[in-house]
Chains A and B, each alone.
Chain A
Amino acid sequence: MYKYDQIDKQLVSERVAQFRDQTQRFLNGELHEDDFRALRLRNGLYIQRYAPMLRVSIPYGLLSSDQLRAFARIAREYDKGFGHFTTRQNIQYNWPELAKVPDILELLASVEMHAIQTSGNCIRNVTSDHLAGVAKDEIEDPRPWCELVRQWATVHPEFAFLPRKFKIAITGAVADRAAVRVHDIGLILKHNDAGVLGFEVLVGGGLGRAPMIGQTIYDFVTPQDLLGCLEAILRVYNLEGRRDNIHKARIKFVVKSNGIDKFREMVDAEWVASKHYAPSLSDAEIARVKAFFTAPAYEALKDIDVVSGKGNDFRRWYQQNTRAHKVDGYRAVFLSLKSVKRPPGDITDSQLDSVADLADKYSFGEIRATHDQNLLFADVRQQDLFELWQKLSALDLATANIGTLTDMIACPGLDLCSLANARTYTVVDLINAKFEDLDYLYDLGEIQLKMSGCMNACGHHHVGHIGILGVDKHGEEWYQVTIGGAPNGKEADLGEVIGRSFKQEEIPDVLERLFRVYLELREGDERFVDTVRRTGIAPFKAGAYAQADQAA
């Protein structure tokens, strides 16, 4: 993974000093609350219902074991003993004390981490494929490009105060696991007809109150031109994005109101005008960064039969929670943060420490955070899987539910967030209680359930196969259900609302009725979302709103 040089170290430590000064001026009353808000947000610090919330950047989800140990220490010394992994591959702490945040940032800097641009109206953490570098379907490793874009975007003087937040995702594989079509800019690594590497550039995707799917602005941009292209898009957005209405300020509204062709013309004009002074990536800089993402020291191994003679629990885990690896004799292993005992994405300080130790022993000391709020060991020897499973089981990190209904995404909701309309964690608990039979979950197959506590859509409910959105009706918590959405690749689309919203306690039964319809209608091995798209939502709608006695 990328290692800081003197420039990276200097920049992060200067950021810590800058934020310490800003915090001090605020606490001394020299900096107005509104101004401090705009500044602290650029450092990942929100003020939530009960306490500040600090979001720490995990660039494209990649972590070393020492960084994970620092997370454990922060959880223990500055929080209530846990952290929360987010859908954008970051980690959040919900209980830090404002005056101590500079100390947390200093601790993070000591392990080459920071909270720069994890919130606020600026370019956020660049996200990517959690299987980068190990996936069999990979065309090109996206991580060096993520790092190059990360550096370009960090403390960029021109784009530090955008109309609204700005999210960039990069994928290098056929199966788009980075959800590039629901980002402000999505980059897809590809080869052109001449075999030259470059990027398809998508723009204008995003979730939130007005979800939209990104559109292709350029079919092929060379690596040398990448930053110039990004600058042109950002400059047009910075000047043309709406600043009078926060709900219409994302770049997707500029793209939509002009149409993609007109928007392309605007960017073209800027790009052409800036071509002779725009930043460009030299071959030397690309090579320098690429050198950090070489393969670890794999042993020459053969694929082996891992499951023969092993019990059912291990077989299930192997089947659900591990993935093929491009190198023989290895697997990628998910650590499920979707235990019934904790909210999705939550992890304790002692689990963090233990995971760090296991990563050192079994996966070259590296850990990845996934979009689905789980962790991943990318490079585990197949011969170690059984032993690793035993250890993960003891840590409650081996729930064999990856990709199933209970591998749910949920934002923190009304329990912690000051924006939320409704609780999410109670709904998670209700669903977990209802659907505890793993065989039933496996029969349902892949289902991405995504839940948000308000229309800001941090839980990405629009692109869930099943989406659940908390809404406020006369002070009561209600939940709207969408079906048929999907986050990834060409199938990326927004779900459709099935009808009137439900009370909290109705949700598990509604899901069961939806699944009954699915199991009746599915053809072959089609997934829930495939059936919904083939039949339309009508039969599901009818099933979901059937009287309880008819459904029983």
Chain B
Amino acid sequence: MRKLIKLHNSERSIINDSWHYAEDNASAGSVIVSLTQWQSERDALIASGKKLGVKLAPADKVDSIAADVSKLSLIALEFGGLGEGRGYSQAHILRRRCAFTGELRAVGKVQRDQLFYMARCGFDAFELPESADLNVALTAFDDYTVAYQPGVDVSGLQLQRRATN
């Protein structure tokens, strides 16, 4: 079973993933579909009563699901590697503008050195490649204890920052 890093308030834990991707197991009770599938089967998916998640690729527009976030329990944003940075802004928009409160999951080539930044942009779940040592990755959230900018802060990172900014 796939393992995940999950943040909840100030708790960080390694948990078993209870979600399934539609291409692996379409009949699961908690299913993550692609944007294409969401757009073509939206009403049927909502009617199914399942817990629903949508996965966006880096080039997908957040606007395409902005009106539906209340129907979704999970949104997965894909990263193609260290250099791929669109997911950070997608996450920011989902949390702030769309007020999405479900699980925001980083998937794809997710690495230890991105985790701190991701958490500050509102991600609270992280699917790392199987080869990654999740216990080591957990320490990444302590890379910084201070910050200059306000963050999205659903992650429970307790950062000291300039109160006035």
Interface residues of A (CB under 8 A from B): 7, 10-11, 14-15, 18, 22, 34-35, 38-39, 121, 151-152, 154-163, 227, 235, 238-239, 243, 273-274, 277, 279, 281-282, 284-285, 288
Question: In chain A, what residue has the closest Cβ to B151?
Answer: A157
Q: Are B111 and A35 in contact (CB under 8 A)?
A: yes
Q: Are A161 and B165 in contact (CB under 8 A)?
A: no
- Pick from B84, B86, B90, B116: contact of A157, CB below 8 A: B116
| Chain B residues whose C-beta falls within 8 Å of the C-beta of A227 in the assembled complex | 165
| Interchain CA distance A160-B88 in the complex, whole Å | 9
- Pick from A7, A11, A162: contact of B85, CB below 8 A: A162
A151-B148 contact given A158-B121, A282-B164, A284-B164, CB 8 Å threshold: yes
Q: Cβ of B2 < 8 Å from any Cβ of A?
A: no
Q: Cβ of B96 < 8 Å from any Cβ of A?
A: yes
| Chain A residues whose C-beta falls within 8 Å of the C-beta of B144 in the assembled complex | 11, 14-15, 18, 155
Question: In chain A, what residue has the closest Cβ to B147?
Answer: A155
Q: Are B121 and A14 in contact (CB under 8 A)?
A: no
| Interchain CA distance A239-B56 in the complex, whole Å | 13
Interface residues of B (CB under 8 A from A): 58, 82-86, 88-90, 92-93, 96-97, 111, 113-114, 116-118, 120-121, 143-151, 160-162, 164-165
| Chain B residues whose C-beta falls within 8 Å of the C-beta of A235 in the assembled complex | 89, 92-93
Q: Are A18 and B143 in contact (CB under 8 A)?
A: yes
A10-B83 contact given A157-B121, A158-B88, A158-B121, CB 8 Å threshold: no
| Interchain CA distance A199-B90 in the complex, whole Å | 28
Give 10 A-B pairs besides A15-B144, A273-B97 with Cβ atoms closer than 8 angstroms: A11-B144, A11-B147, A158-B121, A160-B88, A161-B114, A163-B85, A238-B88, A239-B86, A277-B96, A279-B165
A interface SS class: helix
Question: In chain B, what residue has the closest Cβ to A14?
Answer: B144
| Chain A residues whose C-beta falls within 8 Å of the C-beta of B58 in the assembled complex | 243
Q: Are B82 and A11 in contact (CB under 8 A)?
A: no
| Chain A residues whose C-beta falls within 8 Å of the C-beta of B111 in the assembled complex | 35
Q: 17 A-B contacts, Cβ less than 8 Å apart?
A: A7-B148, A10-B146, A14-B143, A22-B113, A157-B121, A158-B117, A158-B120, A158-B121, A161-B85, A161-B114, A238-B85, A243-B83, A274-B97, A279-B150, A279-B165, A285-B164, A288-B164
A157-B117 contact given A273-B97, A274-B97, CB 8 Å threshold: yes
A35-B82 contact given A161-B88, A282-B165, A285-B164, CB 8 Å threshold: yes
| Chain A residues whose C-beta falls within 8 Å of the C-beta of B151 in the assembled complex | 157
| Chain A residues whose C-beta falls within 8 Å of the C-beta of B162 in the assembled complex | 7, 151, 285
A160-B85 contact given A14-B143, A273-B97, CB 8 Å threshold: yes
- Pick from A15, A157, A288: contact of B149, CB below 8 A: A157
Question: In chain B, what residue has the closest Cβ to A9?
Answer: B146
